[in-house]
Structures are given as C-alpha cells and as structure tokens.
C-alpha cells in the first residue's frame, strides 16, 4: 500500500506540471490582458503595472518564475484584487465550495443508493420503472433550469427558504437540492446496474438456498460488491460537484471558488486562474487516489499493482 501511494504521488508531479504549462500558455495566448478596462490606462501607468507584476519580461522567464513560485505554493497577488494573495483567496473560498459539494454528494448518495437497490430487487416492476424514470428526469433537467424553478416555487411563492446567500442551515437547502439532483440519478442507475450483476452470481444463490432472509442477502452480501460502481464514481463526482458548482454558486450568490475561477478568466487574472486550476487538479488526483484505495478495501480481488 505504501509503495502504491508513493507511486501515485510521484506521478502527480509531472501531471501537475503539464496542466500548469498548458494553463499558463493558454492564458497568455488568450486575447486581452489583465489591465484592460472600459477606460484606457495611460501607457506609462500600464508599463509600471506590467513591470510590477513581471509581465514586461520575456515569456520564458515569466514561465520559469511561475514554476518556481508554484512549487512553493506561492502564486502571488491577484491582478483583480492586488491586496490579496491567490493562496488566501483559495483557502477562503474553497471551504464554501467543499461544504456545498459534500452536502450535495451526501444527499445524492443517501437517496440514490436506496432507489437503485429497490429498482434492482424489484427488476421490471412498477417500482423499477418509476425509479428509472425519475432518474432520467433528474439527469435531463439542468441546474440553471432547476435552480430558478426551486427559487420561484419554494422561496418566492411559498416563502419556505431564503432565495440566496450562504447564511444559516436553511440557506443550504435549495443549493444542495439543485446541485445533487443529477447525481441522485447517476448514483441510482449505477447502483441498480451493479446490484443486478451481483444478484445473479452463484454465492447469492447459495445464500438464498441456505435460507437467509432476503434483507440480509441484499444488504449484507450483495450490496458490498454491488456498490462498487458507485464507489468508483464518487471520486470524479466529488470533483465535478466542487468544480462544476459555478452555476449554482452564481444562482444563489454563494461565495465559492468556482465564481473566482470564472471571474478570473473573464478578467484575465493570470495568477488567480493558474492557482485555482492547479488546486483543482491536485484535489481531483487526491480524490482519485482515495477512491482507488477504498475500492481495494471493498473488493479484495483488485490488486494495487
């Protein structure tokens, strides 16, 4: 296990280097710049700003300087918010996005897994068809449609929940529902597929032949392997939830990291975009490593090598 983890951590280094290099040059090739505004900046002031941020140096020197500082997790100040370091912005905003993603993933798992189990046990029944139809509807409705619909119905009409901001437990409900609906559907379908495959195996027939109760057969013997597709999906799903919550964060005015990434891209805030992209990449690779380790614990047949 230690050798496997060490190998994966070492592989992260060249992967992060490639991501950093591509992001650096793509941002530089994009039209515009960090100091463009509706009102033109005087050439002398613009030259001083470029000198202060090192943008007057050759591109190769800027790239080497960026790699040197990134290795120390120092991305410098934001161009849009010069009084704040990029590292401070990330550490301040990421816990908000992480909390939103964790609540959404927890809700999706607690709802999706039972739906998938029921659909598999009651295969080709009315419950199965209803569960899969609901899952298909959940996947088909995008966040930018579901979110305003929930705000209109539950906030502006019934006045049950606040329509925006991130203050108090009630303000979490609508964003979590909006973000988790599609993942409930994915998890339900994956659970159903995994359970159908496991329920047809010989050891399940043996357990039933021994007279074990159906509940024990399903939840003690079948679910342990039937949930493996969900376990594999949870890592990328968590990354997608945290990184893809920009729509939800915008709809509900949530001060998360996704909004900083999009605003940084619009403003050509090179340091902020580079810092957030590398942080997300490292976060995603760490999640994949944790999922692989959890997978081997659930299924001894999987070899780490």
Q: What is the pLDDT of residues 144-185, one digit of tens each?
A: 888 889 989 988 888 888 887 788 888 889 999 998 888 888
Rounded to the nearest integer, the mean pLDDT of the chain is 83
**Domain annotation covers residue 207:** yes
Each residue of 200-258: pLDDT tens digit?
888 888 888 888 888 888 887 788 788 888 877 887 787 778 766 778 888 888 888 87
**Domain annotation covers residue 19:** no
Dihedral sign, Cα of residue 40, residue 41, residue 46, residue 50: negative
**Domain annotation covers residue 23:** no
Looking at the DSSP bridge assignments, the partners of residue 85 are: 77
Q: How far is C-alpha 195 from the chain's CA centre?
A: 26
Each residue of 244-273: pLDDT tens digit?
677 888 888 888 887 788 778 888 888 888
Report the CATH number that the domain containing residue 196 is assigned in CATH. Answer: 1.10.3720.10
**Domain annotation covers residue 15:** no
- Provide the pLDDT for residue 220: 79
Rounded-to-integer distance, Cα 50 and Cα 284, Å: 33
- Tokens matching residue 58: 């050759």
**Domain annotation covers residue 200:** yes
Give residue 124's region: left, alpha or beta (phi > 0; psi -120 to 50): left
Do the Cβ atoms of 295 and 232 come closer than 8 Å?
Answer: yes
Domain count, the chain: 1
**Domain annotation covers residue 265:** no
Containing structural domain, residue 247: 86-256
Cα–Cα distances (Å) from 7 to 2, 236, 297, in that order, read 9, 20, 18
Do the Cβ atoms of 50 and 56 come closer than 8 Å?
Answer: yes
Query: What pTM did the predictor assign?
Result: 0.75
**Domain annotation covers residue 130:** yes
| pLDDT above 70 for 304 | no
């Amino acid at each position: 296990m230690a050798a496997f983890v060490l190998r994966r951590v070492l592989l992260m280094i060249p992967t992060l280097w490639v991501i950093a290099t591509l992001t650096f040059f793509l941002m530089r090739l994009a039209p515009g710049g960090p100091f463009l505004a509706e009102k033109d900046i005087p050439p002398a002031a613009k030259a001083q700003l470029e000198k202060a941020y090192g943008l007057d140096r050759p591109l190769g020197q800027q790239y080497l300087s960026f790699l040197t500082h990134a290795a120390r997790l120092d991305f410098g100040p934001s161009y849009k918010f010069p009084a704040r370091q990029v590292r401070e912005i990330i550490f301040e905003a990421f816990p908000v996005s992480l909390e939103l993603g964790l609540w959404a993933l927890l809700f999706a798992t607690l709802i999706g897994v039972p739906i998938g189990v029921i659909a598999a046990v009651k295969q080709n029944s009315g419950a199965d068809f209803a569960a899969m139809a609901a899952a298909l509807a959940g996947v088909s409705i995008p966040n930018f449609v579901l979110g305003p619909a929930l705000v209109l119905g539950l906030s502006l009409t019934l006045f049950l929940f606040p329509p925006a901001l991130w203050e108090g437990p009630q303000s979490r409900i609508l964003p979590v529902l909006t973000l988790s609906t599609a993942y409930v559907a994915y998890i339900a379908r994956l659970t159903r597929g995994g359970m159908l495959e496991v329920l047809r195996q010989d050891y399940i027939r043996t357990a039933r032949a021994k007279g074990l109760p159906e509940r024990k057969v399903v939840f003690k013997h079948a679910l342990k392997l039937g949930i493996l597709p969900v376990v594999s999906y949870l890592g990328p799903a968590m990354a997608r939830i945290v990184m893809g919550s920009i729509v939800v964060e915008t709809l509900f005015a949530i001060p998360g990291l996704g909004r900083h990434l999009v605003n940084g891209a619009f403003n050509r805030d090179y340091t902020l975009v580079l810092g957030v992209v590398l942080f997300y990449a490292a976060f995603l690779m760490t999640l994949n490593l944790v999922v692989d380790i959890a997978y081997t614990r659930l299924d001894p047949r999987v070899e780490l090598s």
